[in-house]
Structure formats: C-alpha cells, structure tokens
Structure 1
Amino acid sequence: MADAPVPFEVHESGGYLHGTRADLRVGDLLEPGRRSNYGAGRAAGYVYVTQTLDAATWGAELAAGDGPGRIYLVEPTGDLEDDPNVTNQRFPGNPTRSYRTREPVRVVGEIVDWVGHPPEQLAAMRAHLDDLARQGVEAIED
C-alpha cells in the first residue's frame, strides 16, 4: 500500500498529475471552459496540473461531486505556466510544481494506489476553504 503524500515531493513518474472526481479514460482530454471544481463553480479558464502527488491528492479530495477522488497522469498538449494561485502567494517559488494551461491535457493513465490526507488534515482544509467562501474569497483566481 502506498504512503500518504509528502508535500513538495515530485511524483516518482516525473509526469504531470491532475486530481479530480471526474471518471475519465485514457485518451480523454481535459479542456478549459468546463465548470471549475472550486469556488463558485464558474467556467475555468485553465486546466491545472502538478508534478506532486500531494497537490494532486488535494485536487482529488477537494473536487466538487459525489464520485470517488481520482488522480490521472496527464500530458499537456500546449505550454504550461506556473500556477499563480500557489506560486509566490502561498509558497516562495513553485515547490508544489503546480502549473496551468489554456490548452487541453490528455489523460495517459491513472494512479490507483494513492492514499489521501489524514481525516483531521482534510477537515481542517475544508474548514479553511469554507471560511474563505464565507469571506467571498475565490479559492482559485482564474
């Protein structure tokens, strides 16, 4: 069994990951313009990816929807830029290896043996996001 994710540790594949609750298949494209999993749920202008299992796990755990969290290996079809939602705002530099793109990303695989964050850590993060929502702060500035 896999261990809980380690912050800032690049996934052993070295590839890009995307955490969500969407049920996808190899070859599917994730494209900007779909409903965001976060904040008010408006149309997302970007697709977000990371190279750390920790960040992808947060994505899978916190995504909107009722299905199970999923983490996909993805391949960008265009240029990536640092995700300004975390780069230099929450962490100096980009230790979460978080990026975004206006181009589609293609699903090339799924990580099925990941382990989520401890329940108390997940509850604290959800409480923090709920507090931000009450303050009218969008979780993602797109």
Structure 2
Amino acid sequence: MTEQSEFYRVHESGAFLHGTKADLRVGDLLVPGRPSNYEEGRIANHIYMTKVLAAAVLAAEFAAGPGRERVYVVEPQGDVEDDPNVTDKKAPGNPTHSYRSREPVTVVGEITDWVGHSPEFLQDFRDRLEDLRRQGLAVIYD
C-alpha cells in the first residue's frame, strides 16, 4: 500500500474514515476539544477524516498511545470542510479527500481487512515530516 496513487483513491464504500489507536465501539462519538492523536500537549479543535483507506491507515500508524492501529467508518453529525492542512496548502482542491469537522463524528463501523505501510515507507514519511518541520512548513492538526 505504498504507492502514491493509493492516497488519491476513494475507498469503495465512499464513507468517511478515521484512523487512530483508540479502542472505540459503534455509536461512540469523537468530539473536538480532546488531546491530539499526533502531538502531546495539543488539544484537537477538529475531528479529521478521509475517504481514502491508505490515508486512514497512515493516520492510525502515526497516532500516539497504546493499542493497535484501527480504521473506523465514521459519520459526521454536522458540517464538514476540506482539510486546509493538506488541500489548500499542498494541492488545489481536495485530491486526497481529507476533511475535518468541529462537530461530533459517530463511529458506525470498523474496517479490519487493511494492510499497513512498510517500515521503509513509514520512515521515509517521518523523515519528510521532519524536513517540513525544520523548514517551518509542518502540518499542524488543531
């Protein structure tokens, strides 16, 4: 699952997906205002989601905390907007199908038949993120 094109292919379900290490159940709500999955000490002002399985898997693989990586099917309970962290800043429009919401998001299912990225891909991604941070261009998820 390391091909770049995988990050533009909408999952066959067309559903919103959320990658994390949290152990959630159908009916649970994800709400803004809780600690970030990706940066200690940061409060998340949005819930992030995607329609691309490879991106949701990557989010789960990079999520902080104990537990195994999970990809949940989620349903937003309010307005959803394109994620400007990776759309407007990185590519015109929303080719990565990345979104965020300030409203709760309900877990409606879990996808379990996915394959993670290779250790080499993950290290390369970490290295690229670190380069962006050094340049002051790192994506900050609030």
TM beyond 0.5 = yes
Consecutive unaligned residues in structure 1, runs of 5 or more: none
Structure 1 stretches of 4+ moved >3 Å: 130-139
Measured against aligned partners, the alpha-carbon deviations of 1:40-65 in whole angstroms (never above 9, x if no partner) come to: 44111000011111211111111111
Count of residue pairs the alignment pairs up:
139
Consecutive unaligned residues in structure 2, runs of 5 or more: none
Q: Which stretch shows the higher mean deviation, 38-47 or 104-113?
A: 38-47
| Distance across 1 between alignment mates of 2:28 and 2:76 | 12
Q: Which stretch shows the higher mean deviation, 68-77 or 88-97?
A: 88-97
1:7 aligns with 2:7: yes
**Equivalent runs, 1:20-35 vs 2, <5 Å:** 20-35=20-35
Match of 2:74 in 1: 74
SS of residue matched to 1:107: strand
- Cα offset, 1:118, TM superposition: 1.9
Shift in CA distance, 136/64, structure 1 to aligned 2, threshold 3 Å: farther
Percent identity of paired positions between Structure 1 and Structure 2: 62
**Equivalent runs, 1:100-111 vs 2, <5 Å:** 100-111=100-111
Contact preservation (8 Å) 2:18, 2:56: yes
Match of 1:51 in 2: 51
Shift in CA distance, 130/66, structure 1 to aligned 2, threshold 3 Å: farther
- Cα offset, 1:128, TM superposition: 2.7
